[in-house]
Copies of this chain bind each other. A is one copy, B any other.
Amino acid sequence: MTGWIAVAGLGPGDDALVTDEVRAALAEATDVVGYIPYVARVAPREGLTLHPSDNRVELDRAGHALDMAAKGRQVVIVSSGDPGVFAMASALFEALEARPDAQDYDIRILPGITAMLAAAARLGAPLGHDFCAINLSDNLKPWELVEHRLKLAAQAGFAMAFYNPRSKSRPHQFARALEILREEAGPETLVSFARAVTTPEEVLNTVTLGEATPDMADMRTVVIVGNRDTRRIGRFVYTPRSAR
Residues of A with Cβ closer than 8 Å to B? Answer: 11, 14-21, 24, 58, 82-86, 89-94, 96-97, 102-103, 107, 109-114, 117-118, 120-122, 124-135, 140-142, 145, 148-149, 152-153, 155-158, 233-234, 236, 238-244
Contact = CB atoms under 8 A, between A and B. Distances in A.
Interface of A is mostly: mixed
Contacts of A111: 17, 113, 117-118, 120-121
A178 to B, nearest CB: 18
A14 B91 CA distance: 26
Nearest to A235: B103
7 smallest CB-CB distances across A and B, nearest first, come from: A90-B128, A132-B132, A89-B125, A93-B238, A140-B242, A109-B121, A16-B21
A132 B158 contact: yes
Contacts of A238: 89-90, 93-94
